[in-house]
Structure 1
């Protein structure tokens, strides 16, 4: 009987040790952060929690999603907004667009698309009561709220990408909202997050089995959907079909906890990421003062043919928890989850 108990205890010890080792290795805990950037920090812009940034190359402006987070995930209602930055004005000042929006608003992922002279903007919104996608129109000066979309499929929506004014994809970064399931997702890498498609009338799951589905973007020229899996340290590539369903093509190993994804004019992918996920987790909970930041650029030429380049790496003393890298000409706008400022970098 004692031998059996010892054997069972040994098996349990081995399993626990394996779980801890897997968690530490797969989250970048042992990675050495060496600062790297060929360029300069042009400006620090005072705006809290500039988690997502997307750019209009046509009209030369940036749209910024900002939420003042004390901790992440939030424990109470936060108030944030969508901000406009004129990229041709080198003062890089910002303007709040959603001051007249009278609902609780804590925007997360954003997307926009232009038709004729008007933009449609969508933003993931988190309130204490529900998750939603808020839909706006923007004429270059003024923003108007059109509608709110909610659905039971919005378990933990993170980011979204528009296909047109009515259709979009969004990611759920968790399959579980609480309990042991959520714990296993975050620390064990349980792959149960997903992508949901809205066809203008109804919602349906189109991709699953993802470890923390985060940033998402659409490559119109190649008809590809890219989904960031920071817990997997990779970007997943899918072919978009006419009915909105997705066919998986491949994973791109990124070596960092990729967050939001932006696409430049040449089709390159840019992502802000978290090279040490456990450090970021501690920072987000207020237990550490900083967390490292990283920017990568991916040149994707087709299945099995890509290069991943480190553009910016720093230990978090300048800015912690980078979540997006939006390129514009020789600039990179770098947002974050919960710092008080975001960065404008200038490449050499």
Structure 2
């Protein structure tokens, strides 16, 4: 996918963008809608090249001991690294969700944590990946640890979407096995799944037979969206009473996809890789390698072709050759403040652009 594609460069104005080099290697970014504060799950570039289980980089010696969650305030440009409270474990961040609680001012933070296996070779057994649940407050500088969730169903977690009660979440497994030859089949066949966990009742598979599941997000009406990296499409699921997921639609994008985000107007955004070979080179070999980036917006279709089964309108909002934003695994839009955020697992900076979507 994308081997012979010519990269377009449009939709981003260099003069309307700025780079935040203090925020590097942030795989997932999440907007707190009401405040406009951005939450980021970050590491460092050197570590990402050596410890990144989703792409089978298992060098424990090169693994960062200082992964962190940060907040960024675009009004003041202030960056705050959140202090972990009641947590002294191994932290290697990847996917993340930030969910306002049912209690005003309280926030739950769900994180994929790719821990190193104790006393075992990760090249043989893979990472000891879990989901961490933290709690904080609006404007807070601490993350209070609530629970580490480990389960055989949490096999190769990539991204997570949580509930506002801090007790349940869906997550994607991006491979069917932690290591070994079987992972090669995951690029071509629907072998991955989406899991569901409840802190009191355990975990289960919510939907299976999915091709290369990656980013996940949830709308307020219990619609769950899951991006397929290799499939270049977004699956639309409806949550069932038993918390399983029923596939109801597929949105075809046509590029390799990563993380998803919903804006305050209900539009879905997805980060895409116009040239996946360049993205893989940046992620696995050379973080300075330029990798083109694209961002798509998906909205409810109100046009005449709605009658022909086209329930969604897909718009490529921007595509860049990598000079403004390179290798972005997350694209987030703040519709209220007209700010576009882009960051990647091996990006050298967070990119922030003023971007009007009023037309």
Name which of structure 1's ranges 278-287 and 261-270 shifts more when overlaid on structure 2.
278-287
How far off its partner does 1:38 sit? 4.6
Q: Which residue of 2 aligns with 1:5?
A: none
Structure 2 residue runs of 5 or longer lacking an equivalent are 118-127
> Is 1:325 aligned with 2:301?
no
SS at match of 1:85: strand
Alpha-carbon deviation of 1:154?
1.6
Q: Map residues 47-62 of structure 1 onto 2, 5 A cutoff.
A: 47-62=23-38
Asked if structure 1 preserves the Cα contact closer than 8 Å seen for 2:12 and 2:320, the reply is no
| Structure 2 residue 66 is the aligned partner of structure 1 residue 66 | no
| 1:341 to 2:349 alignment | yes
Within a 5 Å distance, the mapping from 1:295-306 to structure 2 comes to 295-301=295-301, 304-306=310-312
Q: Which residue of 2 aligns with 1:36?
A: 10
1:99 to partner: Cα distance: 5.5
> SS in structure 2 opposite 1:279?
helix
Question: Could you give the per-residue CA deviations for residues 285-311 of structure 1, whole angstroms, max 9, x where no partner exists?
Answer: 216822211111111348631111111
Describe the SS at the equivalent of 2:279.
helix
Rounded Cα–Cα distance in structure 1 between residues aligned with 2:324 and 2:352: 12
1:119-178 Cα shifts (integer Å, max 9, x gaps): 111110112111111111102313211221111112110000012311110000111222
Structure 2 partner of 1:14: none
Q: Quickly say closer, same or farther: Cα 1:39–1:287, change in 2 above 3 A.
A: closer
Q: 2: distance between equivalents of 1:191 and 1:67?
A: 30
> Given the two structures, how large is their TM-score scaled by the length of structure 1?
0.86
Residue 269 of structure 1 contacts residue 300 of structure 1 at CA under 8 Å; is this kept in 2? no
Secondary structure, counterpart of 2:8 in structure 1: coil
Q: Give the gaps of 5 or more residues in structure 1.
A: 1-26
Q: Report the more deviating stretch, 166-175 or 102-111.
A: 102-111
Structure 2 length-normalised TM: 0.83
Q: CA RMSD in A?
A: 1.8
Aligned counterpart for 1:97 among listed residues 76, 82, 95: 82
Q: Deviations over 1:64-103 (max 9, x none)?
A: 11122125433233341100112332xx221100366532
